[in-house]
Amino acid sequence: MRLTRILLVCAVLCGVAPCLRAEYISLRNGQRLHVTGYQIIGEKYRLQVAGGIVEVPVDEVISIDVEDSFAPLPAPIAATAPFREIVKAAATHYNMDADLVASVIAAESNFDPKAVSRKNARGLMQLLPQTAARFGVRNIFDPQENIDAGTHYLRDLLQRYDNNLALALAAYNAGPERVRQFGRVPPYAETASYIRRVKKAYEKSKAGLTLETVSPSGPADKKKFSSSALNPSASSASSQLSLSN
């Protein structure tokens, strides 16, 4: 039966032209890989991913979906956005801008609570197990625990880098030790792309008039982009956010 399945998949692949668009491959462990090409070698898939080639057993692959079958990146904190109330609660608790938290989630996991990266970062805010443990997370895939810890960590990074969003996001993506090593945003293409995606989503949310900023004093002025990632009403976080690299 296993051999039959492999032969059927091979037959399909042989009759199809090479992949012209990116696809997602879902694995049994909950991980979803973004690939630009694949082939079967023996009993393994050889997958083309950003940065190189990975191989996974055929039996570990649940499905292969073309990229355009997925919904567009969710707008941060929109009325129908997933986990909206959890994000707002965490943002309120840590005096953060809910739109920024949601923008990070969108870039990290596209709001997939079971997401697992190649570096073993997990859940909505892609926490490494050691980071999750540091913030008291018991179930890293639980949306509430994951978002609470990720928001706490992001708040700490913003305070550490004097509200410099680029440095805080670089540390969130590549680690504070890399920011310390280079004394600036690390020269990694992945990190630079990550910062651009979060900033773009965040700026769009501020310009779109459709999103909410958590503030004890009520919704923030949405007529123009607000540069405060930390809640401006918080006495401990009143400085303005720097968006420069």
- The catalytic site residues sit at 108
- d(Cα 95, Cα 126) in Å, to the nearest integer? 21
| Token digits of residue 209 | 């008039």
Question: Could you give the 3-state DSSP secondary structure of residue 106?
Answer: helix
Whether the Cβ atoms of residue 90 and residue 97 lie closer than 8 Å to each other: no
Q: Three-class SS of residue 54?
A: strand
- Strand stretches in the chain, DSSP E: 23-27, 32-41, 44-49, 52-57, 61-66
Tokens of 139: 């179930």
Paired tokens of 76? 């941060």
